[in-house]
Amino acid sequence: MADRPSVEAVAEALAKSPERTFPQTVEIAVNLKDLDLSVPKNRLEDEVPLPNGRGKPVRVAVFGSPELLQKVRGVADVVVAANELDDFAKDKKAARKAVNRIDFFLAEAPLMPTIGRRLGVVLGPRGKMPRPVAPGSDPTNLVNALKRSIRIRSKGNRTFHAPVGTQAMPPEKIAQNVDAVLNRIVGKLERGRTNIESVYVKTTMGPAVRLW
């Protein structure tokens, strides 16, 4: 099957989507082929900035020193000082709930070993281990970039999904996001486009429409 223009497939997926009382997410489903996914280097895990954003709030948390956190107050959604880490990690049930509400984490590099020990069991399985930032740096631009980003994560699965927008966004803007994500995926695969069997686009409750 020949590839379709992304905007055409997105428009069809939106048109076929049933009405719901909530703004549905638009996502792509990517089916891989000819890859040994038991080999870690063949698994995809990446953060992709979307040219038109997610169409919904993306929450970012930062662990750091008081000096670094002062720079991102009002920009990051949650800030956790180094001396608050023990309290944050003490109640695992509360920590899991907090982690589930956050999309991305950043941490001042010297805190990474402590975070790994205290919160690795919560963050690791969810693919949310923090990205380290240099001590004393100003991660404001990085926080803002993550607020329009998604995480792609195939793990050991041949099929994986990635959000590319919401039903409320114009098809053209969603299509631009789709193309950005697929370009990144193709660039990460061992044999590029030939490692992709098919790509579908759909809304949360709608039918899948084939793109590739």
Q: Taking the domains of the chain in order of start, what are their residue ranges?
A: 6-55+150-210, 60-146
State the pLDDT at residue 139: 94
- Between 187 and 2, residue with greater pLDDT: 187
CATH T-level fold of 60-146? Rossmann fold (3.40.50)
Give the model confidence (pLDDT) of 26-45 as tens digits: 999 999 999 988 888 888 98
**Cβ atoms of 151 and 27 closer than 8 Å:** no
CATH of domain 6-55+150-210: 3.30.190.20
Give the model confidence (pLDDT) of 102-135 as tens digits: 999 999 999 999 999 888 888 988 888 999 999 9
60-146: same fold as 6-55+150-210? no
State the pLDDT at residue 160: 94
